[in-house]
Amino acid sequence: SASASETSQTLSVRRKPIPRKGHTKSRRGCFACKRRKVKCQETQPACLNCSRIGLKCEYPPPPELSSLASQVWQLEPTQSQPPFTMQDFRFFHHFILNAFPPLPMNGDGVWQSVAALSHQYDYLLHAMLGLAASHLSLFGDDSSSVALSYRVKALQSLNQALNTPPTSNIEADARFATVLALAFQASTMPEGMVEWVTMARGCGIIARSEAIYTSEKSIFFTLGQQGVSRSIKRLTPRDPKNLPELPTEDLVREFLVSLRAIAPLCSSPIEVMFLAEIERAAKLATVSADEAFAALTGQYVMLSHASEEEYAPFTNPENYAVQLLLIHFSLIEYAMGARTLSEEGIKFVYRKWAAIRWVGRLVDTLPEEFHQYLEWPIKYAQ
C-alpha cells in the first residue's frame, strides 16, 4: 500500500550512516594516541587524552637540524651556485669543434661520442674544458689560469676514480679519454713538456690494463699501433701531386747532427733507446714521411712498457739530456705529422706553437753550458 511504501522509504533513509566529522591528521601526536587512533592535542608535557585516562604520554623525537639542512642544501644550490657557467659552455663548444685531441686520426666522431659521456664523469668533463681553455690561450685568449683550475679538478677526480677498477667499457674509455685530453693539454703549456710525455705514457698503461687497443668494444680501438699505421696509410695522399714534400737532406742531416751531439749526455738505457728510435725515424723521413711518423708514434709504446724505475730519468727535473731529447722528438714528430696527414695534419698546428714555447722555456731554464744543444731547435722553431 501507499502507507507501507512511505514507511519503507522512511526506514531506508534512517539507515544511511551519519558521516563522521573529519579532522586534520595529527602528524606529531604522541604514541598512545596513534595506537588508539584518536586525535592528539599535542600539548606538552602530556596531551589531554593521556592525562584524562592516566596513560604515559611520549612523543617522537623532533627532526634533526642536520636532516633539515641537508634537505635545504639539496634544493638551494642550483639557485645560488649554478653547476655550469656560460664560460664552461663556451669551452665545451670550442672543444667539440676545434680543440679535441688529434688522435685517433680522423677521429671527430670518436670525440663527439666522448663528449656525450662527459655528463657522467666529472674528471672527463673537466679535462675537456681544460684542454679547450688551454687551446684558446695559445691564440691570445686569457684563459690559462682557468685552464689550470680545470686541470687540477680533473686530476683530483681521476686519481680518486683510479682507486677502483672501471665497472664497464664505457667507464674505461672515459678514463682513457681523460688522460689523453690531459696529455694534449700539457702539450699546450709552456712548462708541460715532461708532463706531456708522462701523461702519454699513462695513456698506454691504461690502454694495456683495460685492453683499449685490442677490444673492439672500445671507441679508441684504432689507437693501437697497427690501427695507427693503417690510419696513416689511409690519410696519406696517394696522388703524387698531393704527396707531402719530403724533408730535405740538409734538414735531416742538421737534425741528426744535433741529435747525436746529445748522445754523450744520455746516461740511462731508456735515454739511449729513445735517442736511437728518434734517429731511426729521422733516417726514414727522406724516404717515406708516413713511415717516419709511424716509427715516432712507437716511442709512446716503448715508454708505456717501461717500469717506474726505468722511466724515472724522464721525471727528473734536473735531467737536461731528457729535456733536450724531448724537444728534438716533439719538433720532428710535429714536422712528420703535419706533412704526412695532409688536411688532418692541420689539427697538429697547435703542437707547433707548443714546441716553440718549449724551446723558449728551455732557453730560459737550461744551464748555460747546455745552450749549444739548442741551436738546431731554435733555428727550426723560428
pLDDT at 176 over 60: yes
| pLDDT band (50, 70, 90) for residue 272 | very high
Instruction: Point out the least confidently predicted range of 57-66, 117-126, 127-136, 236-245.
Output: 236-245
Is the pLDDT assigned to residue 352 strictly greater than 60?
yes
Which of the four pLDDT bands, split at 50, 70 and 90, describes residue 233? Answer: low
Residue 339 clears pLDDT 60, i.e. is over it: yes
Measured between alpha carbons, how far is 81 from 73 in angstroms, rounded to an integer? 11
The model's confidence at residue 68, banded by pLDDT at 50, 70 and 90, is: very low
DSSP per-residue codes, 67-87: HHHHHHHHHSHHHHS-SS-HH
Select, from the ranges 109-118, 205-214, 278-287, 320-329, the one with the highest average predicted confidence (pLDDT): 320-329
Split at pLDDT 50, 70, 90, the class of 48 is confident
Residue 27: what pLDDT? Answer: 64
Residue 353 pLDDT more than 90? Answer: no
- The pLDDT of residue 216 is 76
DSSP H helix total and E strand total for the chain: 19, 0
Find which of 61-70, 120-129, 324-333 is predicted with most confidence, using mean pLDDT: 120-129
Q: Is the pLDDT of residue 96 over 80?
A: yes
The HSE-up count of residue 145 (CA atoms within 13 Å, CB side) is 1
Provide the mean pLDDT of the chain: 79
Every domain of the chain and the residues it spans: 86-222, 238-381
pLDDT at 312 over 90: yes
CA angle 311–208–128, rounded 5-degree value: 85
- pLDDT of res. 10: 45
Looking at per-residue pLDDT, the higher value among 294 and 302 belongs to 302
Confidence bin at 70 (pLDDT 50/70/90): very low
Q: What's the average model confidence in pLDDT over 298-327?
A: 91
3-state secondary structure 306-320: CCHHHHHHHHCCCCH
For residue 83, give every residue at least 6 positions away whose Cβ sits within 8 Å of its Cβ, in sequence order, or none. none
CA–CA gap between residue 63 and residue 330 (Å, rounded) = 63
Interval 171-187 mean pLDDT? 92
Mean pLDDT value of segment 262-275: 95
What pLDDT is attached to residue 249?
A: 79
Q: What is the pTM of this model?
A: 0.70
For residue 230, name the pLDDT band (cuts at 50, 70, 90).
low
